[in-house]
Amino acid sequence: MAQLSIRSVSKSYGAVQVLDDVSVEVEEGSFVVLLGPSGCGKSTLLHAIAGLNPIDSGTIVIGDRNVTKLPARDRDVAMVFQSYALYPTMTVAQNIAFPLKMRGLDRRTSDEKVAGVARLLQIEPLMSRLPRELSGGQRQRVAIGRALVRDPRLFLFDEPLSNLDAALRTELRAEIKRLHQSIRRTMVYVTHDQTEALTLADKIVVLKAGKIEQTGTPLSLYDDPDNAFVAGFIGTPRMNFLKATVADDGKALLAGEARVDITHLATRLENGRAVTLGIRPEHLDEKDGVTLSLSVDVTEHLGSTSYVHGALASGESVVAERREDQPGFGETITLRFQSTRARVFDGEGSRIR
């Protein structure tokens, strides 16, 4: 049974449509990430789930209750904010106990629960401090504790790691993942960082300009994107897009000097049609297959591997992974890829399968 159903939710601010007929089903116990560039409506959607933003139309169901018209306090959700949103005049212990106090829990039960959460998050030594005496990572831990303490039906995370430095972000990301695995609660997580999305999610919902572009598991979005936007947004470095035309009665694509076999596509394309060919940097380092020659501008060495930035004869710029050698500026190298790795998109960016 779905723990959270968002059905045809729309919302606009004046003339700007921030959510346009968005529908998402979230299974009980799963971890769903709302992913998209800034301004895509992902935070608005999260606030709508929490009941902080009213929606114009559509329905939101949590568990078996239609909460569309309910205020935030009656929705039984907990939320972690990007800015931590700790109450500045309360100690850590008081912050964590606040949701319990608002629900009128007696002091003893409340103290026990707060202590339990503190133990789980290893913040016991901080309990009597004020938020301003904590580091960013500690603050976010406390904020997570405040969400955990009430044992809500649904956890919402609004870019919780964006204010932290890179090392801490990785650490807390793993911690959130561990937390989810141990408590198995439904979590909805908003981020613009695709690494967070790929590592944390059971299911990713990619949003752009208030519309869902694609919903799926991290791997399916990576391997089998529905459109050029998702293909480009997921994966670092991003997918290379090359102009191509259909040839040989729809059996091949011509992209510069390369000839890519597309007989594996179910769709038959007419000769001469202009399409876009997408190929990921990590698929350009094969032993054989279609060849492209690249004149190298920059090589980034990442230790275990390298990324080569350069241009094709057509002038299109391409990034390619290089595991064996590290070509320098001005060199011309040959890239090889399997034609089944190529993804084909039409003029509007929709995938041709």
To the nearest whole angstrom, how small is the minimum distance from the Cβ of residue 128 to other proteins? 17
CA-to-CA dists, residue 272 to 50, 53, 97, 241, 343, angstroms: 50, 49, 67, 18, 18
Q: Does 150 bind other proteins (CB under 8 A)?
A: yes
How far apart are alpha carbons 202 and 289 in whole angstroms?
Answer: 33
Tokens of 20: 């346009």
Tokens for 190, please give them.
Answer: 């908003």
Which span sits near other proteins by CB under 8 A: 75-83, 241-249, 277-285, 340-348? 75-83
Among 2, 70, 72, 120, binds other proteins (CB under 8 A): 72
Compute the least distance from the CB of residue 139 to other proteins, in Å.
Answer: 8
Applying CB under 8 A, among 24, 77, 172, 198 the residue interacting with other proteins is 77
Q: Does 50 bind other proteins (CB under 8 A)?
A: yes
Closest listed residue to residue 190, CA positions, set 205, 202, 180, 176: 205
Which one of residues 2, 61, 85, 333 is an interface residue with other proteins (CB under 8 A)? Answer: 85
CA-wise closest residue to 232 among 44, 43, 36: 36
Supply the minimum distance, in Å, between the C-beta of residue 130 and other proteins.
Answer: 9
Stretch that binds other proteins, among 30-38, 96-104, 184-192, 332-340 (CB under 8 A): 96-104
99 binds other proteins (CB under 8 A): yes
CA–CA distance from 200 to each of 2, 33, 121, 204, 299 (Å)?
A: 19, 8, 18, 9, 30
Number of residues this chain uses to bind other proteins (CB under 8 A): 30
CB of 15 to other proteins, least distance (A): 14
Residues within window 101-120 making contact with other proteins, judged by CB under 8 A? 102-103
Closest CA to 11 of 2, 22, 1: 22
Candidate ranges 71-79, 201-209, 253-261, 269-277; the one touching other proteins (CB under 8 A)? 71-79
Q: How far apart are CA 141 and CA 178, in angstroms?
A: 13
Which letter, b or e, does each residue of 49-63 get, where b requires 16 or more Cβ atoms within 10 Å of its Cβ?
bbbebebeebebbbb
**Of the candidates 291, 288, 283, the residue with the CA atom closest to the CA atom of residue 260:** 291
Cα separation, 201 vs 220, whole angstroms? 12
Q: Is 88 in the site for other proteins (CB under 8 A)?
A: yes
Q: Is 87 in the site for other proteins (CB under 8 A)?
A: yes
Q: Does 78 bind other proteins (CB under 8 A)?
A: yes
Tell me if residue 297 falls in helix, strand or coil. strand
Phi-psi region at 281: left, alpha or beta (left = phi > 0; alpha = psi -120 to 50) = alpha
**Is residue 71 at the binding interface for other proteins, with CB under 8 A as the rule?**
yes
**CA pair distance 57, 20, nearest whole angstrom:** 10
- Shortest distance in whole angstroms from residue 309 CB to other proteins: 38
Among 31, 98, 241, 307, which residue sits at the site for other proteins (rule: CB under 8 A)?
A: 98
Q: In what order do the strands lie in the sheet with 31-35?
A: 77-80, 154-158, 186-191, 31-35, 203-208, 211-216
Does position 218 interact with other proteins (CB under 8 A)? The reply is: no
Q: How far is the CB of 98 from other proteins (least distance, A)?
A: 6
CB of 2 to other proteins, least distance (A): 21
Q: Tell me the window of 23-31, 49-57, 272-280, 315-323 that interacts with other proteins (CB under 8 A).
A: 49-57
Contacting positions for other proteins (CB under 8 A): 47, 50-52, 71-73, 75, 77-79, 81-90, 98-99, 102-103, 131-132, 146, 150, 156
